[in-house]
Structure 1
Amino acid sequence: MPLQWFLKYRPKSLNEVENEDEAKKELTEWIESWLKGNPSYKAVLLYGPPGVGKTTLAEALARDYKLELFEMNASDSRNLNDIRSMAERASVTGTLFGIKGKLILLDEVDGLNARADAGAIDAIIELINKTKYPIILTANDPWDPSLRPLRNAAKMIELKRLTKYPLKRILKKICEAEKIVCEDEALDFIIDQSEGDARYAINMLQGVAEGYGRVTIDMAKNLVRKKDRELDPFEALRSVFWAKYYWQAKSAVTDTQIDYELLLRWLDENIPLQYTDMEDVWRAYDALSRASIFLNRAKLVGWDLLSYTFDLMGPGVAFASFEKKKPTYKAKWVKYQFPQYIQQLAKTKETRDALDSLLRKIGVIIHASKDKTLNDFLPLFVIYYKKFHDKLDKELELTEKEKDVIKMLSSLYEGITEQPKEEERKETTERKRSTYYRRKKS
Structure 2
Amino acid sequence: MGIPWVQKYKPKKLEEIVGNREVALAFGKWLRDRLSGRNVKPAALLHGPPGVGKTLTVEIAAQQFNLELVELNASDFRTKEAIERIAGGAAMQASLFGYTGKLIFLDEIDGITSEDRGGIPAVVELVKYSRFPVVLTANDPWDPSFRELRGLCEMFKYDRIRSTSIVAYLRQICKMEGITPEDEALKAIAEHAEGDVRAALNDLQMVAQGAKKLTKEMVMGLYYRTQQQSAFEVLRRLFSAKTAITAKMAMEGSLVDFDTLIKWINENIPYQYEDVEELSAAYDALSKADIYYARVKRSQNWDLFKYVIDFATAGVALAKRKPFKFVKYQFPKDILMLSATKEERTVKNEILSKIRERCHISRRRATIEYLPYLQLIFSENPEVGHRIAKELKLSKEAIDYLSGRAA
TM-score by length of 2: 0.57
Per-residue deviation, 1:294: 6.2
Consecutive unaligned residues in structure 2, runs of 5 or more: 225-345, 362-370, 395-407
2:392 corresponds in structure 1 to 313
Equivalent residue letter for 1:314: K
Long gaps (5+) in structure 1: 226-251, 268-290, 316-442
What is aligned with 2:360?
266
| AA partner of residue 265 (structure 1) | C
AA matched with 2:392: M
Give the equivalent residue in structure 1 for 2:85.
Answer: 85
Q: Note if contact 1:294-1:308 (Cα within 8 Å) is conserved in structure 2.
A: no
In 2, Cα distance between equivalents of 1:131 and 1:93: 9
Superposed displacement of residue 16, structure 1: 1.3
Supply the AA of the counterpart residue of 2:202.
N
Rounded to whole Å, the distance in 1 between the matches of 2:201 and 2:385 is 38
Per the alignment, residue 148 of structure 1 pairs with: 147
Q: Partners in 1 of 2:151 and 2:166 — Cα distance?
A: 33
2:51, 2:387 → 1: CA distance?
34
* Superposition map of 1:241-320 within 5 A: 256=350, 258=352, 265-266=359-360, 296-298=376-378, 301=380, 309-314=388-393
Structure 1 stretch displaced more, 139-148 or 204-213: 204-213
Matched residue type, 1:10: K
Per-residue CA distance 1:204-230 (angstroms, 9 max, x = gap): 1112124867431012123237xxxxx
How big is the shift at 1:53? 0.5
1:45-56 aligned within 5 A: 45-56=45-56
- Which amino acid in 2 is paired with 1:297? I
Say if 1:184 and 1:144 are closer, same or farther in 2 by CA, change over 3 A.
Answer: same
CA, structure 1 residues 93+264, in 2 after alignment: closer, same or farther (shift >3 Å)? same
Deviations 1:382-412 (A, max 9, x none): xxxxxxxxxxxxxxxxxxxxxxxxxxxxxxx
Do 1:208 and 1:214's aligned partners in 2 also have CA atoms closer than 8 Å?
no
SS at match of 1:102: strand
With over 3 angstroms needed to count, the CA separation of the structure-2 counterparts of 1:302 and 1:205, relative to structure 1, is farther
CA distance in 2, matches of 1:172, 1:295: 47
Alignment of 1:393-432 (within 5 A): none
Measured on the aligned residues, the alpha-carbon RMSD in Å equals: 3.3
Per the TM alignment, residue 30 of structure 1 is displaced from its structure 2 partner at its CA by 1.3
Q: SS of the residue aligned with 1:44?
A: strand
TM-superposition CA deviations, 1:209-261 (whole Å, max 9, x none): 24867431012123237xxxxxxxxxxxxxxxxxxxxxxxxxx9975363876
Give the Cα separation in 2 of the matches to 1:78 and 1:130: 15
Matched-pair contact (CA < 8 Å) for 1:42–1:154: yes
Equivalent AA in structure 2 for residue 14 of structure 1: L
Match of 1:32 in 2: 32
Greater relative contact order (CA < 8 Å, ≥ 6 in sequence): 2
Q: Corresponding residue for 1:228?
A: none
Q: Secondary structure at the match of 1:104?
A: strand
Give the letter aligned to residue 190 of structure 1: I
Q: Secondary structure at the match of 1:23?
A: helix
CA distance in 1, matches of 2:382, 2:41: 46
Tell me which residue corresponds to 1:218: 217
Partner of 1:209: 208
> Number of residue pairs matched?
264
Q: Is the 8 A contact 1:204 1:224 kept in 2?
A: no
In structure 1, the residue matched to 2:108 is 108
Q: Percent identity?
A: 36
Structure 1 CA distance for aligned equivalents of residues 16 and 40 of structure 2: 27
Matched with 1:95 is: 95
What amino acid is the match of 1:189? Answer: A
| d(CA) in 2 for partners of 1:86, 1:211 | 46
Report the CA distance between 1:125 and its aligned residue: 0.5
Question: What SS does the aligned partner of 1:311 have?
Answer: helix
Residue of structure 1 equivalent to 2:183:
184
Amino acid at match of 2:377: R
Aligned counterparts of 1:202 and 1:175: Cα–Cα separation in 2: 10
Instruction: Name the SS for the 2:49 alignment partner.
Output: coil
Once residues 265 and 174 of structure 1 are traced to their aligned partners in structure 2, the CA distance between those partners, rounded to angstroms, is 42
1:8-87 paired onto structure 2 within 5 Å: 8-74=8-74, 76-77=75-76, 79-80=78-79, 81-86=81-86
Secondary structure of the residue aligned to 1:136 is strand
In the alignment, is the contact (CA less than 8 A) between 2:23 and 2:157 conserved in 1?
A: yes
Paired with 1:176 and 1:186, the residues of 2 have a C-alpha distance of 14
Deviation, 1:90, is 1.4
What is the TM-score with the length of structure 1 in the denominator? 0.53
